[in-house]
């Protein structure tokens, strides 16, 4: 996850601007199937700043599966 980098989302709350940091790479664990899936936001570059509202899973913020691992 660390090698993928982070991206930032800026949100305006009145006169206050809030910047939040999110990882580009994530992993999800499926206990039932004993798999771990690595996903990455491929259209977002490390260090890129985006403006809210940003919905993960839609448009530019769509995860792509990069690796699947089985475990016991």
Mean predicted lDDT score pLDDT of the chain: 82
Q: pLDDT value at position 57?
A: 72
Q: 70 vs 72, which has greater pLDDT?
A: 70
Over residues 6-35, the mean pLDDT reads 85
Residue 43 CA to residue 63 CA, distance in Å, equals 9
């Amino acid at each position: 996850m660390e090698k993928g980098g982070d991206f930032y989302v800026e949100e305006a709350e009145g006169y206050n601007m809030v910047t939040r940091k999110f990882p580009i790479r994530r992993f999800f664990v499926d206990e039932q199937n004993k798999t771990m899936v690595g996903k990455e936001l491929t259209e977002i570059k490390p260090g890129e700043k985006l403006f809210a509202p940003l919905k993960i899973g839609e448009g530019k913020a769509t995860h792509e599966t990069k690796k699947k691992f089985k475990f016991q």
